[in-house]
Every structure is written in C-alpha cells, then in structure tokens.
C-alpha cells in the first residue's frame, strides 16, 4: 500500500470509528428516563418486589420497544426506571404506552396506583404519598397544599400523579425534583407530619435516584 493510500485510509477509518461511537451513544443515551413509581401499604421490600415490582417487570418485558430496565424496592415503594430503546423515541408517547400497560390493580388487599412520569436522567427524584382511610377530599387537599408549599420552599419542582376524583380522595402521589440536603428534607417531612390533619398520613422517600 502506498503512502498516498495510507493517507486516505487512515482518516477514513478514523471518521468511521467516530461515527460508530456517536451512533451507539445516540442509540443508548437519550438523556431521558421513565419512572414507574408504585406506593404500597407495606414496609417489606421483599413483599413489594413479589407483589408489585416483578409483575410490572414481566409486563414491561412483554411490551417491547424498551431499553434498559432497572428496579429497586424500598419500604412502601416500588421503583422502576425504563430507558427508551433508541434515540428519538417520544418520551410522551412511551409514557402513555406504559400507562396503558400498567393500570391500577389490587392484590392481597393492596390497592396499587402506579405513577408513571418521564424525566431527565440527571433529575434527583424524591417521592411522597399522602393517603387516608376516610376518603375525605377536603382533608387531602389541605395536606396536599401544605406539602406542595413546603416543597416549593425548598426550591423543588413538584409533579402530581393524575388520578380520578374518587382515587384522589383516598391517596395522592407527588414527585419532587431537585437537590436538597438530607437533614432539611427530614426536618420538612417532620414539620408536615406535625401539621397535617391527623386522619391523613404521609410517606416520604428521599433521593430514590440514589438507589440505582
């Protein structure tokens, strides 16, 4: 091979390698994740895995068109993240697909209402659930307003899981995004628990993103 041929070949190979790297990166890194967050009245992570996480994972595996799926079980919360299969996938469309695949259901006296939300992969995610045993929408709204106000005081962005009116009277799930120290977070949760109506309960999960 002549020097001239080498001078042509080497840059061409280099460009091909770079294009391959970029293509692979784009295919597997959209910068977005979909969270499937399912609160439950159980403090046993093993039970949550068996009754909630594993059935959802089986459903997702059968759904197709998904990238890497990861899961973690916490006391009171099943957490699953789903990556799009390829670059350019519509996060809104994929979120709706998962919402259709995973409707609310009941198992062993647990009423489960997954919250499914598309977020940036770099978002720091905290999860809150407020619930009661008396189906009182007024009490729930009082607690929700208090929770949202405190989260905004910590400069966190807040998203509510859309539920129908009947469900909203029983429980509501909120996702808060942003950096906050563990001590201020704990102080905020304690303050809310001391001020919400006694018929309403609050569960809080700090930095669920830190478990993946």
Query: What pLDDT does residue 87 have?
Result: 73
Q: DSSP label at 196? A: S
Task: Give the start-end residues of each E strand in the chain.
Answer: 32-39, 66-74, 77-84, 105-107, 110-112, 115-120, 125-132, 157-160, 171-177, 200-205
Confidence of residue 86 (pLDDT cuts 50, 70, 90): confident
CB 51 within 8 A of CB 38: no
| Across 1-15, 38-52, 75-89, 150-164, least confident range | 1-15
Say which residue the tokens 């977020």 belong to. 119
State mean pLDDT over 28-46.
88
State mean pLDDT over 22-46.
77
Q: By percentage, how much of the chain surpasses pLDDT 90?
A: 70
Q: Which domains does the chain possess?
A: 31-121 (3.30.70.1430), 123-212 (3.30.70.600)
| Across 32-36, 96-100, 207-211, least confident range | 207-211
* pLDDT tens digits, one per residue of 173-197: 999 999 999 999 999 999 999 999 9
Query: What pLDDT does residue 15 have?
Result: 56
Q: Supply the pTM of this predicted model.
A: 0.82
- In the predicted model, is pLDDT for residue 29 greater than 50? no
How much is the mean pLDDT over the chain?
Answer: 86
CB 57 within 8 A of CB 68: no
């Amino acid at each position: 091979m002549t020097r001239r041929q080498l001078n042509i070949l080497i840059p061409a190979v280099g460009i091909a390698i770079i294009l391959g790297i970029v293509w692979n990166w784009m295919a597997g890194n959209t910068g977005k994740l979909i969270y499937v967050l399912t609160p439950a009245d159980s403090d046993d992570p093993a039970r949550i895995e068996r009754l909630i996480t594993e059935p959802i994972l089986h459903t997702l595996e059968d759904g197709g068109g998904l990238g890497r799926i990861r899961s973690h079980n916490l006391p009171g919360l099943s957490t699953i993240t789903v990556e799009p299969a390829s670059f350019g996938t519509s996060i809104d469309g994929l979120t709706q697909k998962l919402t259709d695949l995973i409707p609310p259901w009941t198992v062993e006296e647990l009423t489960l209402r997954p919250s499914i939300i598309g977020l940036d992969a770099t978002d720091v995610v905290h999860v809150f659930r407020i619930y009661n045993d008396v189906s009182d929408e007024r009490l729930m709204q009082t607690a929700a307003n208090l929770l949202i106000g405190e989260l905004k005081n910590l400069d966190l962005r807040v998203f509510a899981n859309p539920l129908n009116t009947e469900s909203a009277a029983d429980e509501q799930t909120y996702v808060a995004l942003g950096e906050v120290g563990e001590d201020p977070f704990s102080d905020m949760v304690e303050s809310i628990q001391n001020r919400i109506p006694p018929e309403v309960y609050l569960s809080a999960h700090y930095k669920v993103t830190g478990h993946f």
